[in-house]
């Protein structure tokens, strides 16, 4: 199991990217792009944002070693896992609650990221970095 927070964010973002790519190919082959908003959110939050978080934690080791970083990781994973199928359900008119819950989780994840940045700064030698 990956122990470092940057590695977890990077590996998980790669998994979500692969899922998104396969899903995109499936949509292209079927000529059915109905669920493209869910696909886009999977790619944006699951791949891009998680990779950005991984870069931050790699550049700021004290932040990556904090308890908040682990909470942030799991909150972001939960956001993607709940939001993506939730958007698909909303598009197909099978309920909007999971999309709403996933959106709130994504917002909380970004709020947690801001909290971590304000607490630890950016970079290994940032003066605000606290172990």
pLDDT (0 to 100) of residue 128: 52
* pLDDT at residue 125, as a whole number: 67
pLDDT in tens, 104-117: 999 999 999 999 99
Question: Do the Cβ atoms of 42 and 99 come closer than 8 Å?
Answer: no
In this prediction, residue 65 carries a pLDDT of 93
Give the three-class secondary structure for 126: coil
What are the residue boundaries of the structural domains of the chain, listed by start? Answer: 5-120
pLDDT for the residue numbered 129: 44
pLDDT > 70: percent of the chain: 94
More confident residue, 126 or 92: 92
Q: Is 31 left (phi over 0), alpha (psi -120 to 50) or beta?
A: left
**For a pLDDT cut of 90, what percent of the chain falls above it?**
91
> Is the Cβ–Cβ distance between 58 and 64 less than 8 Å?
yes
Residue whose structure tokens are 């970004």: 110
Range 81-84, long-range pairs (CB < 8 A, 24+ positions): 83/41, 83/45, 84/38, 84/41, 84/42, 84/46
Model pTM score: 0.90
Q: Is the pLDDT of residue 12 over 80?
A: yes
């Amino acid at each position: 199991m990956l122990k470092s927070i940057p590695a977890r964010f990077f590996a998980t973002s790669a998994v979500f990217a692969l899922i998104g790519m396969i899903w995109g190919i499936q949509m292209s082959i079927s000529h059915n792009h109905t669920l493209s908003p869910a696909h886009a959110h999977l790619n944006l939050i699951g791949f891009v944002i998680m990779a950005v978080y991984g870069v931050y934690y790699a550049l700021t080791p004290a932040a990556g070693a904090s308890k908040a970083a682990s909470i942030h990781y799991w909150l972001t994973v939960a956001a993607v896992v709940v939001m993506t199928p939730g958007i698909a359900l909303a598009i197909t008119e099978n309920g909007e609650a999971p999309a709403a819950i996933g959106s709130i989780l994504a917002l909380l994840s970004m709020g947690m990221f801001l909290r971590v940045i304000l607490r630890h700064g950016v970079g290994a030698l940032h003066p605000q970095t606290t172990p």
